[in-house]
Amino acid sequence: MADQWSLYSKKVMEHFQHPRNVGEIKNPEGVGHVGNPICGDIMELYIKVKDNKIVDAKFKTFGCGAAIATSSMVTEMVKGKTIEEALKISNRAVAEALDGLPPIKMHCSVLAEDALKAAIEDYLAKKGKKNDY
Amino acid sequence: MKRIYLDYAATTPTHPEVMKEMLPFFNQIYGNPSSIYQLAQRAKGAVEEARKKVAELINAKPEEIIFTSGGTEADNLAIKGVAWANKKKGNHIITSKIEHHAVLNTCKWLEKQGFKVTYISVDKYGIINLDELKDSLTDKTILISIMHANNEVGTIQPLLEISKIAQRRGIYFHTDAVQTVGKVPTDVKESGVDLLSLSGHKLYGPKGVGALYIRKGVKVLPLIHGGHHERNKRAGTENVPGIVGLGKACELAAREMATERRKLKMLRDRLYKGLSEQIEDIVLNGHPQNRLPGNLNICVKYVEGESMLINLDLEGICASSGSACTSGSLEPSHVLLAMGIPPEIAHGSLRFSLGRDTTEKEIDRVIEVLPPIVKKLRAMSPFGKKIKSGEYRG
């Protein structure tokens, strides 16, 4: 029933119905927690990093259709990317990869970018600490 | 897939008998009611006939009914109209925190024009605090506007008690009865209201038409200026087909209300029972008894409302939510927040509003479809582990 009258694009609906990479990673190299319950969107993004490359990513999200679809898309986009490449993924790129989001839902793609950045920062912080010892 | 419509509080399909009644007024009896020839006088007669039917449903006199473009305009006319007409008496208005935006934003706009507005709080069931109302009264209070039943949670307010408070002080009392007219008995004499808003499309009439009851003697200034229509209270050529449709809808509602109420309440209770048996951690919102018969509003903890709605839509089920995502704002429903529900739980609200075409089969289908949707979304929710560990208590 996801036809032309749907609020979301086919791609968003596809990711919403069949989200990729749902779940958590045990002992992840980085975790990003963003959003707050008051706004109704919470994202947790986990990354597994090997040799400066993101080899796996998973998410858990409490949020609307767009929040779930952007979580799914961003985890797909980062897999196989180096940390430097992953840091360049913008919220616009996530939204574009989903064939666009309704204007009032653009903040969901911002949340996805923020979650990714937070996970990478967490990874870099941990790495920095390790290097210190 | 057969569509299951459970959003009758948003709007209703126009009743076939209403449509039939309206049709001739588009291209056969199309005269302007202000003109003098018979074609026009027939249209005028139909408008007056509709006025009688609307008046009858709420126990008013026909001359106390002013047709508007809908519930929102009726609310605007009542509140701004009374405020402007009674400026010399005072500049204070009392309303509640759970009003429809048609009332709330009208009041907020009046605040910018120099009026003072008090927003009364409600208890956990959504019933307004009468003591707070009494304490808020001042010598400058000119109007109290409290809705009859809330559009989201269905809680019905004690109109008679409010009107007694208002009458004692000579303050006008307006009620937005958009959700109740045609659904539960709404009697302007018995409840003692001075102004009452109603809308056509909520009671199986057409969209674009509504009415304001103005008790004889209440001073109201018009919003729209022009010709001498509607006793100089609302200029503009009458929406004759719409008005005829509203009249017919009121006539049908009067006839069907009693049986309809029983049916809706039975189906609504069946839906709640079925859902609460199958889904853990759901909360009923609104007053358990004093509520609209066709309204069920629940919060499903740990999941967000819009994601449930989209999944329901994929199954052909139409419902609504008070989550921020569905309102276009960043905050969840002001009604649920005013009732003291924490924002993260309010985001998981679902409203099912049942109506005349709702069947037991449809209700059972929802009971079958929603639990797996909730399960799937909860598995995706970061609240999951917190629930398990006991860290999160809603």
Q: In this structure, what CATH number is given to the domain that contains residue B185?
A: 3.40.640.10
Considering the domain architecture, whether residues B207 and B278 belong to the same structural domain is answered as no
pLDDT confidence of B387, banded at 50, 70, 90? low
Identify the domain containing residue B272 by its residue range: 4-9+257-389
Q: Do A40 and B310 touch (CB under 8 A)?
A: no
- Interface with B, mutate which of A5, A38, A46, A59 (most B CBs under 10 A): A38
**What are residue B106's phi and psi, to 5 degrees?**
-65, -45
Q: Give alpha helix (H) positions in chain B.
A: 16-22, 24-27, 38-58, 71-85, 101-112, 130-136, 159-168, 188-191, 240-278, 305-314, 324-327, 334-338, 343-346, 360-380, 383-389
Q: Do B381 and A62 touch (CB under 8 A)?
A: yes
Chain B residue whose CA is closest to A32 = B382
**Eight-state DSSP code of residue B14:** P
In a domain, B328, yes or no: yes
In a domain, A112, yes or no: yes
Summarize the confidence of residues B285-312 as an average pLDDT: 96
Show which of B213, B236, B253 is a domain's final residue. Answer: B253
Q: Count Cβ–Cβ pairs < 8 Å, chain A vs chain B.
A: 79
The residues, ordered by sequence, that sit 6+ positions from B374 with a Cβ below 8 Å of its Cβ are B279, B300, B303, B308
CA angle B12, B16, B19 (to 5 degrees): 90
Q: For residues B308 and B300, is the Cβ–Cβ distance under 8 A?
A: yes
Q: Quick check: A132 pLDDT over 80?
A: no
Q: Which of A6, A23, A39, A102 is catalytic?
A: A39
User: Does A32 touch chain B if contact means CB atoms closer than 8 Å?
Assistant: no
Summarize the confidence of residues B231-239 as an average pLDDT: 97
Q: Do A16 and B382 touch (CB under 8 A)?
A: no
Q: Closest approach of chain A CAs to the CA of B391, in angstroms?
A: 15
Tell me the pLDDT tens digit for each residue of A39-54. 778 999 999 999 999 9
Identify the domain containing residue A96 by its residue range: 10-132
Locus of tokens 């200034």: B221
The residues, ordered by sequence, that sit 6+ positions from B270 with a Cβ below 8 Å of its Cβ are B360, B363
| Residue B347 with chain A: CB contacts under 8 Å | 37, 40
Closest Cβ opposite residue A37 in set B307, B328, B344 = B344
User: Which is more confidently placed, B101 or A130?
Assistant: B101
Considering the domain architecture, whether residues B213 and B184 belong to the same structural domain is answered as yes
Known catalytic residue at B299: no
User: What is the C-alpha separation between B100 and B335, in angstroms, rounded?
Assistant: 9
Tell me the pLDDT tens digit for each residue of A54-84. 999 999 999 999 999 999 999 999 999 999 9
pLDDT at B325: 65
pTM for this predicted structure: 0.94
Query: What percent of chain B has pLDDT above 90?
Result: 93
Considering the domain architecture, whether residues B207 and B319 belong to the same structural domain is answered as no
User: What is the C-alpha separation between A43 and B89, in angstroms, rounded?
Assistant: 54
Show which of B206, B227, B253 is a domain's final residue. Answer: B253
Considering the domain architecture, whether residues B244 and B276 belong to the same structural domain is answered as no
Summarize the confidence of residues A13-21 as an average pLDDT: 96
Summarize the confidence of residues B299-304 as an average pLDDT: 94
Chain B residue whose CA is closest to A72 = B380
Considering the domain architecture, whether residues B238 and B263 belong to the same structural domain is answered as no
Tell me the pLDDT tens digit for each residue of A83-130. 999 999 999 999 999 999 998 888 888 999 999 999 999 999 998 866
User: What is the C-alpha separation between B329 and B50, in angstroms, rounded?
Assistant: 39
User: What is the C-alpha separation between B345 and B53, in angstroms, rounded?
Assistant: 43
In a domain, A67, yes or no: yes
Q: Do B325 and A38 touch (CB under 8 A)?
A: no
Tokens of B221: 């200034």
CA B21, B23, B26, B29 dihedral sign is negative
Q: For residues A129 and A123, is the Cβ–Cβ distance under 8 A?
A: no
Show which of B203, B235, B253 is a domain's final residue. Answer: B253
Q: Quick check: B390 pLDDT over 60?
A: no
Q: Do B306 and A41 touch (CB under 8 A)?
A: no
Q: For residues B69 and B239, is the Cβ–Cβ distance under 8 A?
A: yes
Q: For residues A43 and B381, is the Cβ–Cβ distance under 8 A?
A: no
Summarize the confidence of residues B184-193 as an average pLDDT: 97
Summarize the confidence of residues B378-390 as an average pLDDT: 72
- CATH number, domain of A59, equals 3.90.1010.10
Q: Do A60 and B381 touch (CB under 8 A)?
A: yes
Give the strand pairing for B349-353 and B65-68.
unpaired
User: Does B382 touch chain A if contact means CB atoms closer than 8 Å?
Assistant: yes
In a domain, A111, yes or no: yes
Considering the domain architecture, whether residues B281 and B173 belong to the same structural domain is answered as no
Considering the domain architecture, whether residues B110 and B144 belong to the same structural domain is answered as yes
Q: Quick check: B20 pLDDT over 50?
A: yes
Element housing B352 (H / E): strand B349-353
Considering the domain architecture, whether residues B91 and B240 belong to the same structural domain is answered as yes
In a domain, A61, yes or no: yes
User: What is the C-alpha separation between B126 and B336, in angstroms, rounded?
Assistant: 8
Domain count, chain B: 2
Considering the domain architecture, whether residues B89 and B218 belong to the same structural domain is answered as yes
In a domain, B394, yes or no: no
pLDDT at B353: 97
User: Does A115 touch chain B if contact means CB atoms closer than 8 Å?
Assistant: no
Q: Do A64 and B331 touch (CB under 8 A)?
A: no
Summarize the confidence of residues B34-52 as an average pLDDT: 98
- CATH number, domain of B333, equals 3.90.1150.10
Known catalytic residue at A64: no
Domain count, chain A: 1
Considering the domain architecture, whether residues B159 and B288 belong to the same structural domain is answered as no
Please provide the average confidence, as pLDDT, over all residues in chain B.
Answer: 95
From the number of C-beta atoms within 10 Å of its C-beta (0-12, 13-18, 19+), residue B383 rates as buried
* Half-sphere exposure in the Cβ direction for B332 (13 Å, CA): 33
In a domain, B42, yes or no: yes
Considering the domain architecture, whether residues B333 and B196 belong to the same structural domain is answered as no
Query: What percent of chain A has pLDDT above 90?
Result: 78
The residues, ordered by sequence, that sit 6+ positions from B9 with a Cβ below 8 Å of its Cβ are B151, B152, B154, B179, B202, B292, B294, B295, B320, B351, B353
pLDDT at B394: 39
